[in-house]
């Protein structure tokens, strides 16, 4: 059902939605049924490839970023609606929610495309920059949050793997 190559798939177990992105910048929401899945809605989210996608631990929010339009967008999954558009002052590549499920203040880590910088933003409102974490010397290739240990794992293109606490931001 996508017109271009599907390059990312994510799911929200709490809401039973599957989310796919394609190279032209589209997001599609699919509802998981007892048997099979059903297409629900399509959104043109970015001007080109969506380089980063993350679902919050609560399963209620989706974040996407794109180096093509230098923006971060946050969606309400249940209502299929964009709730925040954040124009970034840097070129993003990956994004990951780094807040525990019960935390009302959503934070999101957004990596900078050609450096090892990880910018922490408040997901509400204007997406104010909270802090920049500088633990990598090379561009980041992946970032994931582990809620059980409140730890973020990030890797860079030199093969370095870093583990850091989201509450102390590596300090």
51-165 maps to CATH 2.130.10.10 = yes
Kindly report the pTM of this predicted structure: 0.90
Tell me the pLDDT tens digit for each residue of 79-131. Answer: 888 999 999 999 999 999 998 887 778 899 999 999 999 999 987 767 677 78
Asked if 84 and 75 touch (Cβ cutoff 8 Å), the reply is no
pLDDT in tens, 70-89: 999 999 998 888 999 999 99
Domain parsing of the chain, residue ranges: 51-165
């Amino acid at each position: 059902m996508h017109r271009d190559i599907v390059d990312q798939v994510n799911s929200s177990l709490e809401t039973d939605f599957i989310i796919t992105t394609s190279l032209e910048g589209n997001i599609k929401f699919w509802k998981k049924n007892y048997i099979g899945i059903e297409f629900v809605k399509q959104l043109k989210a970015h001007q080109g490839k969506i380089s980063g996608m993350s679902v919050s631990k609560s399963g209620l929010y989706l974040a996407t970023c794109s180096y093509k339009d230098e923006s971060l967008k946050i969606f309400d999954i249940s209502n299929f609606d964009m709730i925040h558009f954040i124009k970034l002052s840097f070129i993003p590549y990956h994004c990951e929610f780094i807040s525990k499920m019960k935390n009302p203040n959503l934070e999101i880590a957004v990596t900078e495309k050609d450096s090892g910088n990880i910018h922490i933003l408040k997901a509400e409102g204007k997406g104010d920059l909270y802090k920049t974490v500088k633990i990598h010397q090379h561009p980041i290739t992946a970032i994931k949050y582990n809620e059980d240990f409140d730890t973020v794992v990030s890797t860079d293109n030199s093969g370095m793997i870093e583990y850091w606490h989201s509450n102390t931001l590596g300090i």
